[in-house]
Amino acid sequence: MLTVSRFRLKYSSLQQAKSSVRAFFRNLRGVAFFSGLTINTIFWIVPVFLFAIVKLLLPVPVLRRAITRILMAIGENWVSVNGLLMRFAASVDLESRGLEDLQRDGWYLIISNHQTWVDIFILQAVFNRRVPFLKFFIKQQLIWFPLLGIGWWAMDMPFMKRFSPSYLAKNPHMKGKDLVTTRRACEKFLDTPTSILNFIEGTRFSELKRANRKSPYKNLLQPRAGGFAVALSSMGELFTNIVDVTMVYPENATSFWGMCCGEDVRVIVDVRVRKLETWLVEGNYEGDREFRKQLHGWLGEIWTEKDLIIDATREAHGRKSTV
């Protein structure tokens, strides 16, 4: 009996040692991959800073437009190298569909659900050099994010300031100020073909958030229309189309660190180009209650369809995996 107990103890110790070794090499791979992303970011941010300084000091419209095009080209190279790292140094299985009608000289307002930080890297890889350099709404606090915050600022990413309901209750005079900030951020894109990405749910999806917000959708949070409406009112006449993107992780969405450590990331990106209807551009979100109601209903229909796409895609993936 004592011999059996000793054997079990040795076996358990061996298993723990193996687990520790696996965890060590997993994290080592994560550090190596993250280091590659960091080195690539530093490499491209240096010229971004230099051109941004010139753009700031020489406010000549023609020169600024030329520098903007250079900055966008630098950004595309940055994204391309990140894509190569994901392809050869990570375990990302990416499938995209519906990209055929997109053009590099178009003006697109891209709306998407949001599952994980990995979404940003995936969407950049999917749309890079298919549409104008992808820009996305960023919470204003993230301007302080090391390296990337300054890079986003230099490349004209639109920063948004959101006020919580509790803050607005104490400071009612600030109501609508966040939308004004978003409108100003969008106005800088009037001279150059632009693709703006908006994660309309406002945050990453989780079951806890879905329950707390009482979302009527199985796989999504409710869409928030404010930033979307401001982008339309600021640039609506320039947008060629609305690009509706559904991010589907057939298994579970992987965290950013999980991707770095080599966890399998299978993602399907479903792209649907929608016509920009006139009423969307002409409406007054802040002053017209009926327009707000109509816009919320329109987004609700899209999110209902998106919810079904996620279910159908996961079901199809499940059938494939059992063959």
Q: Is residue 63 part of a domain?
A: no
- DSSP letter at 97? E
Q: Is residue 24 part of a domain?
A: no
| pLDDT at site 322 | 32
Is residue 64 within 8 A of residue 236, CB to CB? The reply is no
CATH of the domain at 265: 3.40.1130
Q: What are the structure tokens assigned to 270, written together?
A: 């479903």
110 vs 231: CA distance, rounded Å: 11
DSSP annotation string for 44-79: HHHHHHHHHHHHHH---HHHHHHHHHHHHHHHHHHH
- DSSP, collapsed to helix, strand or coil, labels residue 243 as strand
Write down the residue that tokens 């992780």 correspond to. 249
Q: Is residue 23 part of a domain?
A: no
Q: Is residue 95 part of a domain?
A: yes
Domain residues for 249? 91-321
144: CB partners within 8 A, 6+ apart? none
Above pLDDT 90, what percent of the chain?
Answer: 42
What would the pLDDT profile of 134-162 be if each residue is shown by its tens digit? 987 777 777 777 767 777 777 877 777 66
Q: Residues 177-215, buried b or exposed e (16+ Cβ, 10 A)?
A: ebbebbbebbeebeeebbbbbbbbbbebbeeeebeeeeb
Greater pLDDT, 7 or 311:
311
| pLDDT at site 317 | 79
146: CB partners within 8 A, 6+ apart? none
The residue among 284, 273, 262, 270 whose CA lies nearest residue 312 is 270
| pLDDT at site 135 | 86
What would the pLDDT profile of 276-287 be if each residue is shown by its tens digit? 888 998 888 878
Whether 219 shows a pLDDT value over 90: the answer reads: yes
pLDDT category at 319 given cuts 50, 70, 90 is: very low
Is residue 141 within 8 A of residue 228, CB to CB? The reply is no
Domains held by the chain: number: 1
Chain center to CA of 110: 10
What would the pLDDT profile of 82-122 be if each residue is shown by its tens digit? 999 998 888 899 999 999 989 998 889 999 999 999 999 99
Residue 281: Cβ within 10 Å count: 14
Q: What is the mean pLDDT of the chain?
A: 84
Residues 247-256 have a mean pLDDT of 90
- DSSP letter at 128? B
Greater pLDDT, 9 or 110:
110
| pLDDT at site 169 | 64
Residues 260-266 have a mean pLDDT of 92
Whether 304 shows a pLDDT value over 60: the answer reads: yes
Q: Is residue 78 part of a domain?
A: no
Q: What are the structure tokens assigned to 110, written together?
A: 């891209």
120 vs 202: CA distance, rounded Å: 14
- DSSP, collapsed to helix, strand or coil, labels residue 111 as strand
Q: Is residue 133 part of a domain?
A: yes
93 vs 87: CA distance, rounded Å: 8
Strands (E), 137-194: 138-139, 159-160
Q: Using alpha carbons, list the distances in angstroms from residue 155 to 150, 152, 182, 217.
A: 9, 5, 16, 35
Q: What are the structure tokens assigned to 127, written together?
A: 């749309």
| pLDDT at site 3 | 60
pLDDT category at 44 given cuts 50, 70, 90 is: very high
Chain center to CA of 66: 27
Write down the residue that tokens 């009423």 correspond to. 279
* pTM, to two decimals: 0.83
Q: Is residue 124 part of a domain?
A: yes
pLDDT category at 173 given cuts 50, 70, 90 is: low
Strands (E), 74-202: 92-97, 108-112, 134-136, 138-139, 159-160, 195-199
Q: Is residue 287 part of a domain?
A: yes
| pLDDT at site 57 | 84
Chain center to CA of 219: 17
Residues 197-212 have a mean pLDDT of 90
Residues 194-219 have a mean pLDDT of 91
